[in-house]
Structure 1
Amino acid sequence: MENRPLHKDSVRKEQSIKVGALPRLRRFVEDRRGVGAIEFAIVAPLLIMAYVSAFEISVAVTVSRKINRASATVSDLLTQNQTTNKATLDTMKTVTKTVIAPFSQDGYSLKITGIAVAADGKATVAWSRDQNEQRPYATGLVVTLPSTLEAKSTFIVRTELTVPYTLLSMMPSLASSFNKINLSKTSYFRQRTGDKITCSDC
């Protein structure tokens, strides 16, 4: 059977379709409309997480510093005199609240202990008081002091302050028991004058 040549119009039409398809394909590949929106959708959650994390870390560091200062302030105040009493010790919770402000100390724990250190380095509890106006440690209880604290024949006031801190404070609706951590600080200060600090009614 004899092969007939294609009609000229059909050949031109087929060639034009092929030629026209290449620019359209090129435009499709090079089209960048909507790419910015997609990139933003991918990056935005990461940026938000980074911002929230930075905010939470900065707030937690600020609270931790205030707790350190509050603990040290209590020990510092009590070591300025040679005597104290229950009423004075009970006012220390107001001191910590003032130092920690504007942050809350709800659910906090405050233990103030007078520690007598003998010439041989043995440390025992002379008196103690907590935020509930109770005695957290028995008188005469042996205390282990930090190895870095070389103390003999002296008297030390130890202040233990623990304050609960809730993470995701900028999003309280997401906060739960798993978001809570305890920030704590224990301060040791020696007596300023004399050889001990007595509590008249402890």
Structure 2
Amino acid sequence: MRRVVPAPRLRRFTDDESGVATIEFVILFPILLMLIYGVAEYVNVTDHRNKVSKLARTLADLTSQNSTQQITPATMNDNLRAARPVLAPFDASLATIQISAIGVNANNATFVCSTWPTSGGSRTVGKAAGLDVPTNFQRSGARYILSEVKMSYQPLFATILGRLMKTVNFNFNWSETVAWPVRGGQSLGTGLDSEVILPNGKECNAKAT
């Protein structure tokens, strides 16, 4: 059987590997780009989550340290200004904050005694049915601060991703709740923890059930 030998040009074409690297780059570049974006997004979202948690703890601690029982609006506004440096470089205006003074009476009857701000949050003054009270506060006379922070997270390239996948919502919310013991304020009676009263609020009614 006669063997067919390729012509010189055809032989050079079949042996030429100069375009292999280009093809490999075209295939691998999108994958590499996605890996880089994934790492950057993971670091960013973790940092954002940690700062929301840190803000909730910071606000709870600042509120609990008030030297007098009644907190003034000016003091609370000063406390809330901590949001900007704590959340930086994220936009603090996206955060929803509510601080509440919680009281626990006999039979674990739990109340929101006062709250700040009084609008925009999920808490209102009155009996707090369904509130998850930490174990160390599940006793008659317990008083503590409840700090709640909710904040929307926006991905690094939310605009681009939104254009590529219009039906997918890439924004989501973090929600952080911190229960904090009162470190200042004053006790209103025997067996009652020290408490602070948020602006325009009233003291906890120790007899409420």
Instruction: Normalising by structure 1, report the TM-score.
Output: 0.77
1:93 aligned to which of 80, 95, 116: 80
Pair 1:138 & 2:124 matched: yes
Pair 1:49 & 2:37 matched: no
**Residue matched to 1:21:** 6
Within-5 A mapping of 1:25-174: 28-81=13-66, 83=69, 84-130=71-117, 134=119, 136=121, 137-146=123-132, 148-151=134-137, 152=139, 153-167=141-155, 169=156, 171=157, 173-174=159-160
Q: 1:23, CA displacement in angstroms?
A: 7.8
In percent, how many aligned pairs have the same letter?
24
Q: Which amino acid aligns with 2:126?
A: G
Question: CA offsets per residue over residues 93-146 of structure 1, 9 Å max, x none?
Answer: 21112211122122321111110011422210000113xx63743322324343
Number of positions where the alignment pairs a residue of Structure 1 with one of Structure 2: 182
**Structure with max Cα Rg:** 1
Question: CA offsets per residue over residues 9-50 of structure 1, 9 Å max, x none?
Answer: xxxxxx7xx564288766554432211100110010010011
Partners of 2:79 and 2:133 in 1: how far apart? 27
Pair 1:192 & 2:183 matched: yes
Partners of 1:48 and 1:100 in 2: how far apart? 28
The answer as to whether partners of 2:149 and 2:176 remain within 8 angstroms in 1 is yes
The answer as to whether partners of 2:116 and 2:198 remain within 8 angstroms in 1 is no
Partners of 1:24 and 1:106 in 2: how far apart? 68
SS at match of 2:82: helix
The answer as to whether partners of 1:129 and 1:135 remain within 8 angstroms in 2 is no
The answer as to whether partners of 1:155 and 1:191 remain within 8 angstroms in 2 is yes
Q: 1:162, CA displacement in angstroms?
A: 1.2
**Residue matched to 2:190:** none
Residues 23 and 175 (structure 1), Cα distance of their counterparts in 2 relative to 1, 3 Å cut: closer
Partners of 1:123 and 1:35 in 2: how far apart? 71
Partners of 2:25 and 2:149 in 1: how far apart? 45
**Residue matched to 2:171:** 180
Question: CA offsets per residue over residues 42-98 of structure 1, 9 Å max, x none?
Answer: 010010011111101101111111111011000011112352233322333211122
The answer as to whether partners of 1:124 and 1:139 remain within 8 angstroms in 2 is yes
Partners of 2:76 and 2:61 in 1: how far apart? 13
Partners of 2:13 and 2:198 in 1: how far apart? 85
Name structure 2 gaps, 5 residues minimum: 163-167, 188-192, 202-209
Residues 147 and 158 (structure 1), Cα distance of their counterparts in 2 relative to 1, 3 Å cut: closer
Instruction: Normalising by structure 2, report the TM-score.
Output: 0.74
SS at match of 1:120: helix
